[in-house]
């Protein structure tokens, strides 16, 4: 079975990586999108932010942009999104946002700067599959640069909460840059409990 987000670029990477134990990850492309809702078939992207880090989570670069969208997408948002995007100040910025094509071009430049040509980009974030679905639909050229593997902080959240009773306290500001920085702090929190030299039981 072929996964829906795999394209020719991803399949080539899959073929190559079958002959390797793992990818040689040096940097991570953290990303967060704010949308009008979660249904990728009818909702659109309002804000995009990205932070490039090394494997020690030191920030190497960052990017953020507001995406200009037709008013009818904003008018048709549900009450939750209208409330949270209104309170965060995001809605008032949409009329002066950037065209989505410009945002995609900026993301490609960021990827090209920190990931060598032909090297797939590994995305990271919270519930990153949702962001990936919107990227695949609306930022197709950028999606071609992405590796099929992703780092989902929410996977750590589930294990640490349900198995160990450990919970990271979030502020839930619902702005893209802040959400990425919070995801970084959250992953650091979970990793602080891990001792790689400890014997496996």
Order of strands across the sheet with 45-54? Answer: 59-66, 45-54, 27-35, 121-125, 146-152
Provide the strand spans (E) within the chain.
Answer: 27-35, 45-54, 59-66, 121-125, 146-152
Tell me if residue 54 falls in helix, strand or coil. strand
174 is catalytic: yes
> From the candidates 10, 58, 147, 174, which is the catalytic residue?
174
Q: Are 133 and 40 in contact (CB under 8 A)?
A: yes
Task: Enumerate the β-bridge partners of residue 121.
Answer: 146
Distance between CA atoms of 137 and 132, rounded to whole angstroms? 9
Q: Which residues belong to the active site?
A: 174
């Amino acid at each position: 079975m072929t996964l829906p987000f795999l394209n020719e670029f991803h399949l080539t990477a899959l073929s190559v990586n079958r002959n390797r134990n793992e990818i040689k990850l040096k940097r991570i492309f953290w990303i967060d999108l704010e949308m009008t809702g979660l249904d990728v078939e009818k909702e659109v992207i309002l804000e995009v932010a990205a932070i490039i880090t090394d494997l020690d989570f030191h920030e190497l670069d960052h990017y953020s942009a507001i995406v200009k969208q037709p008013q009818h997408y904003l008018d048709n948002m549900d009450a939750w999104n209208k409330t949270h995007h209104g309170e965060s100040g995001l809605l008032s910025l949409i009329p002066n946002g950037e065209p989505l094509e410009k945002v995609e071009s900026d993301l490609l430049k960021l990827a090209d700067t920190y990931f060598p040509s032909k090297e797939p980009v590994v995305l990271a974030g919270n519930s990153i599959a949702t962001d990936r679905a919107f990227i695949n639909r609306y930022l197709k050229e950028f999606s071609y640069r992405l590796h099929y593997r992703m780092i989902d902080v929410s996977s750590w959240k589930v294990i640490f909460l349900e198995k160990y009773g450990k919970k990271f306290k979030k502020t839930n500001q619902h702005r893209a840059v802040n959400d990425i920085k919070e995801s970084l702090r959250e992953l650091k929190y979970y990793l602080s409990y891990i001792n790689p030299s400890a014997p496996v039981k």
